[in-house]
A and B are shown apart, each in its own frame.
Chain A
Amino acid sequence: EPEVTQTPSHQVTQMGQEVILRCVPISNHLYFYWYRQILGQKVEFLVSFYNNEISEKSEIFDDQFSVERPDGSNFTLKIRSTKLEDSAMYFCASKGGRGNNEQFFGPGTRLTVL
């Protein structure tokens, strides 16, 4: 069964460093998402991506964040200068098409900023 994969599973970084979180969505999907979950809190929407551009972003997704689909298979989230409060689990999700509303989630990347 096709699945969304994410790498790395755990990333530790120093405050102020750049990190790139990687995701491989399901191959024929068209919509891509990043969510995050701070420990013990709810899952929050960060950004959605369709047709090679951002379709919506939340207030959390400020200028320090960017997304890219560089090669037609990977979908990356970059945090330019990490802050302590960026420590969270980051989930990638993908969805097949507009009429199919089921999002498939990856296992997540745990980001720890020291």
Chain B
Amino acid sequence: GNSVTQMEGPVTLSEEAFLTINCTYTATGYPSLFWYVQYPGEGLQLLLKATKADDKGSNKGFEATYRKETTSFHLEKGSVQVSDSAVYFCALSDGFGNEKLTFGTGTRLTIIP
């Protein structure tokens, strides 16, 4: 079945540091890939997505590139802010039928001033 393996957390960085959160996946076919963010006390919000190989999703300074050859979708940001502190989830949908999401374990990111 489908699975998502995500970098273990928690991750603590200083403001303006470079961020990478690793995500790899196992899936049949051609899944769509997502990063969701969960701020404290809130629900899940879509951060960015990519639907085919070599696509780059980007939003709010975050980027991730769909790499089929390495089955990866790593999240990056060049300069993090305190407001980026949240839990980040990598997810995939298989594109068949109801397209349910399969999530990784989540990575808690804390940015210190």
Contacts and interface: CB of A to CB of B under 8 A. Distances in A.
B98 A56 contact: yes
B105 A101 contact: no
Interface string A65-79: 000000000000000
Interface stretch (B16-24, B43-51, B61-69): B43-51
A56 B97 CA distance: 9
Contacts of A48: 98, 100
B89 A107 contact: no
Interface residues of A, number: 24
B19 to A, nearest CB: 20
Given A42-B104, A43-B103, A101-B51, A106 B95 contact: no
Interface string B74-113: 0000000000000001010101011111111110000000
A31 B95 CA distance: 13
Contact of B99 (A31, A41, A44, A91): A31
A95 interface: yes
Contacts of B99: 31, 95, 98, 101
With most chain A CB atoms within 10 A of its CB, the pick from B43, B51, B93 is B43
A45 B101 contact: yes
B37 to A, nearest CB: 11
Given A105-B43, A105-B44, A105-B45, A42 B105 contact: yes
A75 to B, nearest CB: 14
6 contacts: A33-B98, A41-B105, A42-B104, A55-B98, A102-B46, A102-B49
Interface of A: 31, 33, 35, 41-45, 48, 50, 55-56, 91, 93, 95, 98, 101-108
